[in-house]
Amino acid sequence: MIRTAIVEDDAEEMQLIKSYLERCSKEQCFNCVIDLYTDGDEIVDGVRAGYDLIIMDIELPLLNGMDAAEQIRMVDKDATIIFTTHNPNYAIRGYKVQALDYLLKPVSYKAFKEVMERALKQRVESSRKYIRVKIRNATVKLDVSGIRYVDVLDHYICYHTTEGDVKTKASMREAVQALEGEPFFQCNKAFLVNLAYVDGISGNDLIVSGERIPVSRARKKAFMEAMNQYLTR
């Protein structure tokens, strides 16, 4: 879900941007909630709502978009800001408030779609979490969301990822600590599974991306509770 604010004092322009956003959400398969504002002072007050995306006209009557963005950045460093304007000279000042881009009016759907693709990509990249794993004399970064499960053999552990297996000399305890706070469950002493890849349970085995991984009887109830919390979060 992407919480979006459109700030525009021209009613026709506002509806155009809104229609573009709704069309984009259908084409790119994302859900969004859209709030509408007609001036910069309104969005500054509304920023407490914690928007993911703000599409804002620069030329507003009371508090212009650039000044509003400066105030927003004092309390929110993460919201993606996209400006709309008739004047391309504002582009340089936009860097000061870390604006993603600006769209020249009249805004075309092609230009809007291209900027939205960049905004969505930026959100995905910023939401990714990585862990560092030592392999011999090198260190690699693993995208946590791509780790299907971790298992242990002797003094080594193996991260089974969507890109392949990564083996490192470490303990399961170290893997658990590295992935703390992420949706992983230790189903026995030798396996740590990513709940996102659990397809189901068969007897005392979890089905993880088509593979069978045993869950101890003592941990089965805790697994069901963890899975239920993950699915209903």
Peptide bond into 106 cis (omega under 30): yes
Element holding 92 (H helix, E strand): helix 91-94
Q: Is the pLDDT of residue 95 over 60?
A: no
Q: Is the pLDDT of residue 157 over 90?
A: yes
pTM of the model: 0.59
Which of 155, 162, 157, 152 has its CA nearest to residue 196? 162
The mean pLDDT value for 18-27 works out to 95
User: Quick check: 43 and 55 in contact, CB under 8 A?
Assistant: no
Please give the C-alpha separations between residue 206 and each of 186, 209, 214, 216, in angstroms, as whole numbers.
Answer: 12, 10, 6, 10
The mean pLDDT value for 212-224 works out to 93
**pLDDT of 48-78, one tens digit each?**
667 889 999 999 999 999 999 999 988 888 8
What average pLDDT does the structure give for the chain? 89
The mean pLDDT value for 156-165 works out to 94
Indicate left, alpha or beta for 154 from its phi (over 0: left) and psi (-120 to 50: alpha): left
Polymer length in residues for the chain: 233
Please give the pLDDT value at position 48. Answer: 66
Q: Is the pLDDT of residue 34 over 90?
A: yes
**pLDDT of 105-144, one tens digit each?**
999 999 999 999 999 888 776 667 888 888 877 778 898 9
- Of 33-42, 60-69, 70-79, 160-169, the one with minimum mean pLDDT is 70-79
The mean pLDDT value for 162-183 works out to 92
DSSP 29: T
Element holding 27 (H helix, E strand): helix 11-27
Torsion angles phi and psi, residue 194, rounded to 5:
-85, 120
The mean pLDDT value for 160-174 works out to 93
Please give the pLDDT value at position 141. Answer: 83
